[in-house]
Amino acid sequence: MKIAGQMGMINTTKKISALRQILAALEHFEKKDYECAITLAAAGEGQCKERTTTHLFRLIRAKFSADETNAVINWLKHPSGPDGAQITELEVVTTLIRAIQKFVGTYEEAHQKFKDFSAWCKAKGYTKIEIIEEAKPNTKAKA
């Protein structure tokens, strides 16, 4: 790996950072780098302020505990738990949908790659609806 000779710096925002992480997660998903895809998608999701209650994360949390909801994410972030794991495509898709819906709900905009992923999810049968249309602002959501 070649490292540039000069130290660099960027200026960023939560929005830019979340977008970059989710886009990178989509790239890793395409390469089947599932660990990276989940970790980056979860980080991007975590940077977005919750402005809606209709996104997938809230629907999952209504039925499952926090531990169940984030089991793979937490396994990837911490040394606890078993040494090995199986990560399914469904787990990655779910994490990506969570991140994309929260980003869209927070910033009320969607990147073209989000739209492409939404179409792929529909074509593969993961969802019957456009995932980016489910995240709509809700003034009753917690800030």
SS (H, E, C) 36-92: HHHHHHHHHHHHCCCCCCCCHHHHHHCCCCHHHHCHHHHHHHCCCCCCCCCCCHHHH
Contact 105, 52 (CB under 8 A): yes
Point out the residues of the chain with pLDDT beneath 70.
1-6, 53, 133-143
Query: How far is Cα 44 from Cα 112, in angstroms, rounded to an integer?
Result: 17
Predicted TM-score of the model (pTM):
0.84
- For residue 133, the model assigns a pLDDT of 63
Query: How far is Cα 140 from Cα 39, in angstroms, rounded to an integer?
Result: 29
